[in-house]
Structure 1
């Protein structure tokens, strides 16, 4: 299968690209930064802004399916990356007759999602980080989901919980709409998307995914996902 991966230079996108290649797929790694993805056998790099319809159209030509792991930073200003990229990608897919689409969203987009036995998360982290600092970002994610749901594509909106880094794929659980858990390893998120390509259990529905085998250290998570990533990521 020839797969277009948007956000291929990002933290989740790198796992998606590596795992897809290991599984024997051909990958078109779509990134907006020249040199951010190294070329390898069975890998083609396409430099394109995912919000530019013409660039997206050229990037996905000749592919069989599209995976999007695009991300944006928290901002006090209105975020449009998710909505604009969804509009460009779905439009290009329709023009090319490509039907299968999997897009990373978030469990936060489900208004009633509250993981059980997670008092600190539900009453401290979620209201402060997700509902306040990340409000404009998650509003844009909801607009993205609405755009995708209105299409005739065979879409799956993938909703992980709090993302963290882990070196290998572990045990993970998927569920309709959202999954009951606080954390999702990026390796498991990538693996769940590639498994869904084969199994097609969540076509035209939302797929929640959580990691069940390991949990991150909260202090390290805040450092790596907040302080360190913010200081090392270029605008």
Structure 2
């Protein structure tokens, strides 16, 4: 299996990259600053911008699967990149994509018909990031690809506990935090097992 990974220098992306390399999976990463990525056998580092169609095409040239751990960066980088990623995947007959989203785009438990960021469940003052993730969800939903969106809640840096709890399309009851390690591990496990294709998956780490 050959993976194209976007967002490899981010907090979750770095953990995903380590898991992939630890398990001897070939990875190509597209990053703006290659100096932020440590060279490793089986790793191809490309310099570029995920908002650029030509750079996306280079990154997916030999890929079987795509993982995006890109952050919003308070811009439209997610929607710009996912549009190019999907188009290139279709051109290259790549079907599987796992992305890292946010708990804000999960279904509200208290207000049916709304997502969490649209409801009183959300504690975030700014909705900019959630709206961008929502647009990515909408785009993936109509893409006809085999997608999964991993949706952590409050995301402190932290190690793998491997005791995380998940729920499709909703945040597990009592969720307070999700470590970066657990988020990366679940994304990796989902990539290997393909248990939640076509779903947003809420995830929480134990207290």
Distance, in Å, in 2 between the alignment partners of 1:111 and 1:173 is 17
Q: Contact 2:108/2:170 (CA < 8 Å) preserved in 1? A: no
Q: Scaled by the length of structure 1, what TM-score is found?
A: 0.78
Distance, in Å, in 2 between the alignment partners of 1:43 and 1:18 is 10
| Cα RMSD, aligned residues only | 1.9
Out of 148, 163, 180, which is 1:186 matched to?
Answer: 180
Q: Which residue of 1 aligns with 2:197?
A: 203
Distance, in Å, in 2 between the alignment partners of 1:143 and 1:15 is 25
Distance, in Å, in 1 between the alignment partners of 2:204 and 2:186 is 10
Q: Contact 1:57/1:92 (CA < 8 Å) preserved in 2? A: yes
1:170 shift after superposition: 3.1
Structure 1 residues 199 and 34: alpha-carbon distance in aligned structure 2, compared to 1, 3 A threshold: closer
Equivalent positions of 1:119-130 (< 5 A) are 126-127=122-123, 130=124
Q: More deviation in 167-176 or 203-212?
A: 167-176
Q: Contact 1:179/1:208 (CA < 8 Å) preserved in 2? A: yes
Are 2:123 and 1:89 aligned?
no
Any stretches of 5+ residues in structure 1 without a counterpart? 115-123, 216-235
Equivalent positions of 1:79-228 (< 5 A) are 79-112=75-108, 126-127=122-123, 130=124, 132-133=125-126, 135-180=127-172, 181-212=175-206, 215=207
Any stretches of 5+ residues in structure 2 without a counterpart? 111-119
